[in-house]
């Protein structure tokens, strides 16, 4: 099977859906003339023209609102934020308009829109450009939240997101755009809300999503050297969460560690912990452990960044804590 970059998988997903459905269009800062801040939309302006690949002013609240209005009038926008840190400027439109429109209109208006862009730490970008809001958006009824970890997942999930009749938050990582992975040339879709076992195991379940899957998988490799078999489960979407897949894995391994790049309070890891102790308590042989960011803004210094973020060492330590208690 061919290998392509993460950014190319996203571009293929958008381009294929725009060829399939003339109602789909892309808008955002630098998506057209500059080919995208991370070159995700490279070449799309040439193919689809300025009416369907639209450069916007630096005004997230404005162009997010335009997107929501367009979606309620029969088209299917893809709105790119250069980073989801900037989506805070538009959060009123996302939370109070896009997410609530269907409910408040009594089902008269769908909002088939995708908000996509980069999330989380991407190195030395400072505290205001290094935050994770997956759990914020996942807390909102009416939204779906997708965080892919591979080019294959990115393409299949984005195509499903574009076809979905609800607003979808689609969160990527600057540090993954150059990652390569196997992606079929033929069309495929991945349904939203379905987790994936990226590595089977028998002794402990490690749950993660997004780029921190790299940490989870690397930790599983290290643990294998000590004869600990870790099953690594990729949530892929954090609203809806595939709770059944997590519970089934825990029933098999009897131990759970959740690794997430986010502050610990009210995190996705906290939600999963609650659900597992409620529905699989009798299967647990040890308390659930979480590996989150430390509860502080991300510093600029690279040494301090590594202290705050989840890493392989912290994950291995958490697994050993549930194995050898």
Catalytic residue numbers read 60, 129
- Sort 284 into a burial class: Cβ within 10 Å, 0-12 / 13-18 / 19+: middle
Nearest to 146 by CA among 87, 88, 210: 210
Q: Do β-strands 76-81 and 114-118 pair in parallel, antiparallel, or remain unpaired?
A: parallel
Q: Which helix (H) or strand (E) holds 101?
A: helix 101-104
**DSSP secondary structure string, 121-133?**
--SSS-GGGS---
On whether the CB atoms of residues 246 and 274 are closer than 8 A, the answer is: no
Residue 163: how many other CB atoms lie within 10 Å: 17
The phi and psi torsions of 255 (rounded to 5 degrees) equal -145, 150
Query: Could you identify the residue written with the tokens 């890891």?
Result: 269
Dist. CA 313–CA 188, nearest whole Å: 36
**Is the Cα dihedral 119, 84, 77, 32 positive or negative?**
negative
Dist. CA 123–CA 157, nearest whole Å: 26
């Amino acid at each position: 099977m061919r290998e392509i970059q993460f950014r190319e998988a996203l571009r293929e997903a958008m381009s294929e859906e725009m060829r399939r459905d003339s109602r789909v269009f892309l808008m955002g800062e630098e998506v057209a003339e500059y080919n995208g801040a991370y070159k995700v939309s490279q070449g799309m302006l040439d193919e689809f023209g300025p009416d369907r690949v639209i450069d916007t002013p630096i005004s997230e609240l404005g162009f997010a609102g335009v997107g929501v209005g367009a979606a309620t009038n029969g088209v299917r926008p893809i709105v790119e934020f250069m980073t989801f840190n900037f989506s805070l400027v538009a959060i009123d439109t996302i939370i109070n308009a896009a997410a609530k429109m269907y409910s408040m209109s009594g089902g008269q208006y769908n909002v088939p829109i995708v908000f996509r862009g980069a999330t989380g730490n991407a190195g030395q970008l400072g505290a205001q450009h290094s935050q994770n809001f997956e759990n914020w958006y996942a807390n909102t009824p009416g939204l779906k939240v997708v965080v892919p970890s591979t080019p294959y997942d990115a393409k299949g999930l984005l195509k499903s997101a574009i076809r979905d009749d609800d607003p979808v938050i689609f969160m990527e990582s600057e540090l993954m755009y150059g990652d390569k992975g196997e992606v079929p040339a033929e069309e495929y879709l991945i349904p939203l809300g379905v987790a994936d076992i990226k590595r089977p195991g028998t002794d402990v379940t490690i749950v993660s999503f997004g780029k921190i899957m790299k940490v989870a998988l690397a930790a599983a490799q290290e643990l294998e050297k000590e004869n600990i078999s870790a099953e690594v489960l990729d949530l892929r979407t954090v609203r809806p969460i595939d709770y059944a897949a997590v519970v089934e894995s825990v029933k098999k391994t009897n131990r759970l560690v959740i690794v997430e790049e986010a502050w610990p309070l009210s995190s996705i890891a906290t939600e999963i912990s609650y659900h597992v102790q409620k529905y699989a308590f009798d299967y647990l042989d040890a308390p659930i452990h979480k590996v989150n960011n430390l509860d502080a803004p991300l510093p600029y210094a690279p040494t301090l960044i590594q202290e705050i973020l989840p890493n392989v060492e912290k994950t291995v330590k958490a697994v050993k804590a549930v194995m050898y208690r």
